[in-house]
Amino acid sequence: MQLKQDILLGKSIEELTNWVEERGQPNYRGKQLHQWLYHKGIKSLEEVSVFPKNWRKEIADYPVGRSSINQLIVAPDKTRKYLLNLQDGLIIETVGIPTSKRLTVCVSSQVGCPMKCDFCATGKGDFKRNLTCAEIIDQILTVQEDFQQRVSHVVFMGMGEPLLNIKEIIKAIKIINQDIGIGQRSLTISTVGIPEKIIEFANHKLQITFAVSLHASNQILREKLIPTSKFYTLSSLINDCKKYVEITKRRLTFEYILLEEVNDSLEQAVELAKLLKGFQNHVNLIPYNPIEEVKYKRSSPQRIKAFCYQLEKYGITTSIRYSRGLETHAACGQLRASYHK
């Protein structure tokens, strides 16, 4: 189900200009509305002080399309995790991750997730619907306002599978780039892989970072960890990844969550290296964030380093990505699941 509602957030400057002109206002008010919507972060049209007072009263009830913060948790490392109330009463998560040089927002693309990954808190909950472009943009504006700092990077690594919501994702990328002003090379899309969708996405020839979640070096284990992968074999996925690189001329990232004594052996590292040999890619190794619903454990630092070394030994460019905010329901979907409980 897709939420249908005529709201202002998610409209381009041309669409906003048409909107004001349809209401008898001069076209320059479209540019003013665009500025207040995407750079001042208004939640109501009554806030647009450059509009005539009488007209502001007239349009006061027209929906801007902003969410409200249901819950905010701040970790010791200053990472902030938000539960946001959507217009229809559903709840999503988003995360603000600050460093000395950047502010990254981890956005959700769906309410819940239908992929049912066995190790994922979001996958253990119910899938409700896709998010609209406006609901994706709202997450960025919410974090930006709360931090009182400009967002520099956006990663689609929150709740949901982005390629199952590709139309709204493409629209959101355009708005993030052209209207909010964040460069495409500062955006990352993460997917477990959907048949035909990787090539469809590649054909847009965006300059983003594209990340594919593998989490296994063979088909049997991948089906155990990601049940839906039985409809999209590992060999087909890798072939599509190679085509993605050919079409976009950009390096592809593979994400690999390390689960103790499940997918972190040296033999599996060699198997993974052979699978990824021969085209432009990079592997992000991610230590697991445990959740209550399953018994998977995080690999030890020694096993993580050994796995990394083995990949590099076979010529695979590899890095280890440690999660932020571990004390604060770090795994995606944990905070929302805790709220519903």
pLDDT confidence of residue 1:
46
At residue 272, φ and ψ (nearest 5 deg) are -65, -45
The residue length of the chain stands at 341
**CA pair distance 6, 132, nearest whole angstrom:** 11
* CA-only gyration radius of the chain, Å: 21
Residue ranges in 176-285 assigned as alpha helix (H): 197-202, 219-225, 234-248, 266-276
pLDDT confidence of residue 222:
97
pLDDT confidence of residue 292:
80
Binding residues: 113, 117, 120, 160-161, 190, 213-215, 289
Binding residues for S-adenosyl-L-methionine: 160-161, 190, 213-215, 289
In order, the DSSP letters of 203-231 are TT---SEEEEE---SSHHHHHHHSGGGGG
E strands present in the chain: 68-74, 80-85, 91-98, 103-106, 110-111, 129-130, 153-156, 187-191, 209-213, 252-258, 281-287, 318-320
pLDDT confidence of residue 242:
98
Q: Which pTM was predicted?
A: 0.93
Strand order in the sheet with 80-85: 68-74, 80-85, 91-98, 103-106, 153-156, 187-191, 209-213, 252-258, 281-287, 318-320
pLDDT confidence of residue 334:
60
Binding residues for [4Fe-4S] cluster: 113, 117, 120
pLDDT confidence of residue 338:
57
Q: Are 250 and 202 in contact (CB under 8 A)?
A: no
pLDDT confidence of residue 159:
95
**CA pair distance 257, 119, nearest whole angstrom:** 9
Tokens for 48, please give them. Answer: 């647009």
Residues with active-site annotation: 93, 332
pLDDT confidence of residue 260:
97
pLDDT confidence of residue 300:
96
Class of residue 53 by CB neighbours under 10 A (exposed 0-12, middle 13-18, buried 19+): exposed
Instruction: Please give the domain boundaries of the chain with CATH numbers for all domains.
Output: 13-59 (1.10.150.530), 68-320 (3.20.20.70)
Tokens for 95, please give them. Answer: 């995360």
pLDDT confidence of residue 2:
47
Ranges of residues in the chain with a pLDDT under 70 are 1-5, 324-341
Counting runs of H as helices and runs of E as strands, what totals does the chain give?
A: 11, 12
Cα 248 off chain centre by:
20
